[in-house]
Each structure stands twice: as C-alpha cells, then as structure tokens.
Amino acid sequence: MRLSDALEPVKHVYVLGTRVAGRLLTRLGLLHEEAPPLTHRRRHWLHSLSLIHNSMALAAIDVPWWTYASIEAMTDWIARRPTPVRVYEYGSGASTFWLARRVAEVHSVEHHREFGASMQAELTNFDNVSLQVIEPLHSETPVVGSAKEGHRHRDFARYVDSIDEVGGEFDLIVIDGRAREACLSAAIPHLKQDGIILFDNSLRRRYRRSIQAAPVVERRLRGMTPTLPYPDQTSLLTLRA
C-alpha cells in the first residue's frame, strides 16, 4: 500500500474535524464570519483552516488555493498588465472565480464530471468564463497518464490537448489539475513571450523534474497556503530568453 493511500483516512478525519471546529468557533464568536484582509496573512490563514477542500467557501472569501506569496505576486502582475489578460486554467475551483473577477477572459478545463458540473452552475453569472469538462478515458495503455492514486488506467490526452482546441496565446496559464507534466508541455507553445505559467504544488518530485526539463525560468514562492496546515510551494514560470 502506498503511503498516500494509507494517509487518506487521516486526511478525511482532519478535513471533517476542522470544518466542525470552524462552525463551533464561529457560533461561539471566537471566529468571525468574515475573513480578515490578506494584509493580515497569519490571521487570514487561521480563518481559512476550517475551509479546507471547500472551493465555494474559498471563492466566497476571494482567494485561490495557491500560496499567499503567489497570490500577492499575481495580484500585482495582473494589475500592472497593460492589456486585457487572457487565461487558460487546468483544474477549476476557487481560482476560477478569483481570476474571473480580475481578468478579461478565462478558459478552464476540469476532469471531474460532478465537480465540473457544479462549478459550471456556479459560474453562470460570469460572462468571461468558459468551463469545459473533459473526463479521462479508460485505457490499459494511456497516451497521457496521471501518477495520481487511482488514475492508473485513465488517459488524459484530450484533457491536456484542450488548450489546442481553444487556441491562441495566453497571458497566464494555470496548471493545477491532473497530468501536470503533460499540461506544462502543452502550455508552453501557447504562452505569450512575456506571459506566466502558474504551476501549483511544485514541490512534488515528479513536478520538479518536469519544470527543470522545460525551457522556462522558475520563481518559487513557498510558504503558507489558504486552508493548508503545512507550507507548500507555487511556482511562476516564464519563457527562457
């Protein structure tokens, strides 16, 4: 049994426990309904701990599930961008809402049918967002596989290639879904020369190898992340000159 599989019950208990604790502390008046401003990073992080694995709750407090340092960097980068920002996103969630409130155009792809359908319903008020759901196909010999537990015989080729179907160049490409190594390869030809690829959870060993092999310059932003009880890392990648 993989260590990650063995830890799944522990993760489930932790998520359930923090949500219950959050509701109790709010009722007792020890935790405010409204999140502190992002400028008070530690207080904001403490507030967010009870919202783990709750995309809509994160969307409500207007933060993506990236490190705080990368949220600050991307907020500044988008604000300084001289032209309307066009985004492609692998993996929908709270970040989809955060981006939709700040950029001109968001194209997102989601692999999970039920989650994707719920996101599509929640995003109907955003005219600048297009979200398609592309489930992986069952295959004994996947063209594009995923190292995620339980995904051994799933082919993510259409999911990865969805950026080709939308076409054109993007100012920002977010990689925060499945088959991220293949997504990075597919993203690079579609990135504007002065654009950014945001690659989340970039500490993982398989992602490190992929980033180091790509023709990009990496800026690592490690530290606290909304809802997570441990530090993580989000990387900002730019094309090598």
Class of domain 68-239: alpha beta
Overall pTM surpassing 0.85 (yes/no): yes
pLDDT (tens digit, 9 = 90+) per residue, 29-55? 555 668 889 998 998 998 888 888 889
- Per-domain residue ranges for the chain? 3-54, 68-239
**Residue 35 · residue 61 · CB < 8 Å:** yes
pLDDT value for 49: 87
Largest Cα span, the chain: 55
For 105-152, the pLDDT digits (tens) are 999 999 999 999 999 999 999 999 999 999 999 999 999 988 887 778
Helix (H) or strand (E) holding 223: strand 216-223
